[in-house]
Copies of this chain bind each other. A is one copy, B any other.
Amino acid sequence: MPATPAWPPKSAPRLFVEQMLGEGLQISIEGPQAHYLARVMRVGPGDAVILCDNTTGEWAARVADAGKRDVLLTAETLLRPREAVPDFTLCAALLKKDRFDLVLEKACELGVARIQPVLTRRCVADKLNLERARAILTEAAEQCARTALPELLAPVKLDALLRDWEANRTLFFADENGGGPAASAFAANNGPAALLTGPEGGFDEAERTAIRALPQARPITLGPRILRGETAVIAATALWMGTRGDWTAPA
């Protein structure tokens, strides 16, 4: 007897949709997502699509009809409830566009819960297209099979960030002028966490003083080499996820 093929197959396209999903619900996909399904992935009636709604979780859906303009799907089975991602906020100074795009993509893959872009004195970039940034995050989530989208907040100035800091959230501050070894600092601080990283030219002296004055701040070092802005984000996030986040359970 041949083995029953896995349903949905691993190769099924994954998509986030706006609509909340439920068993038997019909979903109509339009625009670029319909183009992707019908033209790029060439789905037809009966084919599997994996849908996420960022609320209930991940669903197996089946194509009912694939037209030129829209694709009609039926949600069938809840595959996984929306995952709980570790409570880690990335407070990253804005970087030049292509470098910040990389930060968004990698932060999503690595498991960051929310991203708070920060404006500092030496930031070269001072604007972020939130819609475009959300599209990058959604695509990364589809790619890495995350069922929870990272929350993206509008950029804030550093002084506002520090002024409104949550009482019980540790702020690991990647200070290029030195601090404690990152792994030890992570090990010594339980609970909600955040990482603050600087722009291309680093923080200025007044900013460094203000950050260090925050009782929740823990200056950390990421080794003897000078890391680019986006490298510091990715490296420190990976180190936190690997030691305090959700990479510590055997797979």
A residues sitting closer than 8 Å to B (CB atoms) are 83, 102, 106, 109-111, 143-146, 178-184, 221-228, 231, 234-236, 238-239, 241-243, 245-251
Contact = CB atoms under 8 A, between A and B. Distances in A.
A224 B228 CA distance: 27
A228 B143 contact: yes
Contacts of A110: 223, 225, 227, 231, 235
Given A106-B234, A110-B231, 15 more contacts: A83-B224, A106-B231, A109-B227, A109-B231, A111-B224, A145-B225, A145-B226, A178-B250, A181-B242, A181-B248, A181-B250, A183-B247, A224-B251, A234-B234, A239-B242
Contact of A183 (B143, B231, B248): B248
A251 B109 contact: no
Contact of A250 (B102, B106, B221, B228): B221
A5 to B, nearest CB: 17
